[in-house]
Amino acid sequence: MTYAKKRGRGRYRRADQRRLPRNRRRPNYLLLFCAFTLATLFGVGISYLLTTPKLNVKSVDIKGVRLADAKAIEKAASRAVGHNILLLRTGPILTQVARLHEVRRVKMGRRFPNRMWLRVWERKPDAVLATARGFLLVQADGFVFHKLTAPPSNIPVISVAGDERLAPGKTVRSASARCALYILGIARRKGIELGKISVDHQGDICLNMGSDFCVKLGQPDDIAHKMSLLRNMLAHRPSIVREGGYINLICPSNPAWRPRAAAPAAS
């Protein structure tokens, strides 16, 4: 018998052989039982966390409130009391607090198991605007955010002639008040301390630097140049604030200053 015939026989025998079925894997009942048990325990745990009274908010700690209405903030924060700490939506509370004009930024967080915290950052005043109806805290951009009955001692006062109706939440629109805020910004950049900026009905500007020493700027033109002259004069002679009565910069090309009048001698 040749090799080809042997090879052919072997091929036909392999083709005629009956295929045996593969062994099927048996299901792992232990693994299925463990997965079912874990899923059940997880569901029960989640249900417990969302329904247990132990996670209901009991109090809200509030910090950072000085100028804003504390009662309004407490009322907004009280909306969280009694709610589940996990399900509580802080967005509506933050929105209500952020509507207050004094509030610049506000955040709220959780202190498990049943307390919340609320932190408020208030706006910082750049000046106090003196009006016939009271004193208003104002930012450098002209936004008015709080009303006072008396001006603080450490914030420059802006006094502008006229009757501009202002209230917290509005922005200063008069040219005189905006010019005063512009001058205040230049003074801070140049390190000049101002106590008060006054603008009369004619638009003439006068700066008060304390101890009854004033600087007459006149009309609101060449303000940057006039403030540079003032800075140079103060740097050249710092004692001018104590010795002088006022500095006249109405004509920048011819600045002048007047000594303080001496007290009369006793007879």
Q: Is 70 exceeded by the pLDDT of residue 54?
A: yes
- Domain interval for residue 62: 55-122
Domain shared by 79 and 197, yes or no: no
CB 50 within 8 A of CB 109: no
Domain shared by 98 and 195, yes or no: no
Of 122, 147, 171, the residue that ends a domain is 122
The verdict on residue 155 lying in a domain is yes
**CA dist list (Å): 228 to 53, 217, 222, 244, 255:** 67, 12, 10, 19, 12
Q: What is the pLDDT of residue 263?
A: 39
CATH of the domain at 230: 3.40.50
The verdict on residue 135 lying in a domain is yes
- Tens of pLDDT, residue by residue over 112-157, are 999 999 999 999 999 999 988 889 999 999 999 999 999 988 899 9
Of 92, 122, 152, the residue that ends a domain is 122
Domain shared by 143 and 234, yes or no: yes
The verdict on residue 161 lying in a domain is yes
- Mean pLDDT of all residues in 192-220: 92
The verdict on residue 18 lying in a domain is no
Residue 19: CB atoms within 10 A of its CB come to 5
Greatest distance between any 2 Cα atoms in the chain: 158
Domain shared by 246 and 173, yes or no: yes
**CA dist list (Å): 254 to 172, 248, 251:** 33, 9, 5
Among the listed residues 186, 199, 144, 188, the one whose alpha carbon sits nearest the alpha carbon of residue 169: 144
Look up the pTM and report it: 0.81
The verdict on residue 249 lying in a domain is yes
- Tens of pLDDT, residue by residue over 165-196, are 899 999 999 999 999 999 999 999 999 999 99
The verdict on residue 149 lying in a domain is yes
Domain shared by 106 and 180, yes or no: no
Domain shared by 82 and 175, yes or no: no
Of 122, 148, 181, the residue that ends a domain is 122
Domain shared by 115 and 184, yes or no: no
CB 90 within 8 A of CB 103: no
- Mean pLDDT of all residues in 28-42: 88
Domain shared by 254 and 138, yes or no: yes
Domain count, the chain: 2
Of 2-6, 79-83, 108-112, 138-142, give the lowest mean pLDDT range.
2-6
CATH of the domain at 109: 3.10.20.310
Domain shared by 67 and 186, yes or no: no
Domain shared by 133 and 110, yes or no: no
Domain shared by 169 and 245, yes or no: yes
Domain shared by 82 and 198, yes or no: no
Mean pLDDT taken over the chain: 88
